[in-house]
């Protein structure tokens, strides 16, 4: 019962955050709305029993939004991204294309000859997913993940103009 309530609450946050991305009048607010929606989706994946994949989604989306904020500060005319702006362009064509894609995908889901389950679900779906995706290269991918994380941290540090101790007259 509590799991069902949490599922629907996260689903509401995901859909609401996704809608807010297009309703917010600034890039910064849209970024936070997108982060909330993506974190809710990561929570949904964890609730479905795929802990590893859910945590990867949570970490990846958080870091991606941090990098997006860095680029927003570097390249936007309004460094804070708080200047009102329109987040919608070509609404009629976008509505037609997205409606058509939705109908096509819904038809595919409803009309596809889905196979029946062969065998039982694995005892540890996270391990089974890892082995299916990476096979014997699991250690290599774990190390690569740490290297990518260190690279992202280094990029964020190098993107800032001032360092930790360069505060311009503040007592340290």
Instruction: Give the integer Cα–Cα distance in Å for 57 and 74.
Output: 25
Does the structure show a pLDDT above 50 at 111? yes
Give tens-digit pLDDT for 4-34. 899 999 999 999 999 998 888 777 788 889 9
**Which stretch of 4-13, 38-47, 108-117, 157-166 has the lowest confidence by average pLDDT?**
157-166
Q: What is the DSSP secondary structure assignment for residue 169, as one 8-state letter?
A: S
pLDDT at 163: 56
Give tens-digit pLDDT for 128-140. 887 888 787 878 8
Percent of the chain with pLDDT over 70: 85
**Which stretch of 38-42, 109-113, 118-122 has the lowest confidence by average pLDDT?**
118-122
Comparison of pLDDT for 161 and 20, the residue scoring more: 20
pLDDT at 118: 85
pLDDT at 165: 61
pLDDT at 10: 94
Comparison of pLDDT for 61 and 165, the residue scoring more: 61
User: Considering only CA atoms, which of 67, 76, 62, 60 is closest in space to residue 27?
Assistant: 76
Cβ-proximal residues to 80 (8 Å cutoff; 6+ apart), any chain:
28, 73
Instruction: Give the integer Cα–Cα distance in Å for 1 and 7.
Output: 10
Per-domain residue ranges for the chain? 1-86, 127-164
């Amino acid at each position: 019962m509590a799991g069902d309530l949490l599922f629907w609450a996260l689903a509401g946050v995901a859909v609401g955050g996704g809608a807010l991305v297009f309703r917010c009048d600034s890039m910064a607010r849209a970024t936070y709305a997108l982060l909330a929606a993506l974190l809710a989706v990561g929570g949904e994946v964890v609730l479905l029993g795929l802990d590893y994949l859910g945590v990867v989604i949570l970490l990846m989306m958080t870091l991606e939004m941090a990098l997006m904020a860095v680029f927003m500060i570097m390249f936007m005319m309004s460094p804070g991204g708080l200047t009102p702006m329109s987040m919608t362009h070509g609404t009629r064509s976008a509505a037609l294309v997205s409606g058509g894609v939705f109908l096509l995908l819904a038809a595919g889901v409803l009309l596809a000859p889905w196979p029946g389950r062969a065998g039982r679900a694995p005892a540890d779906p996270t391990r089974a997913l890892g082995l299916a995706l990476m096979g014997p290269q699991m250690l290599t991918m774990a190390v690569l993940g740490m290297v990518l994380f260190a690279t992202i941290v280094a990029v964020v540090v190098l993107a800032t103009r001032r360092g930790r101790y360069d505060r311009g007259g503040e007592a340290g």
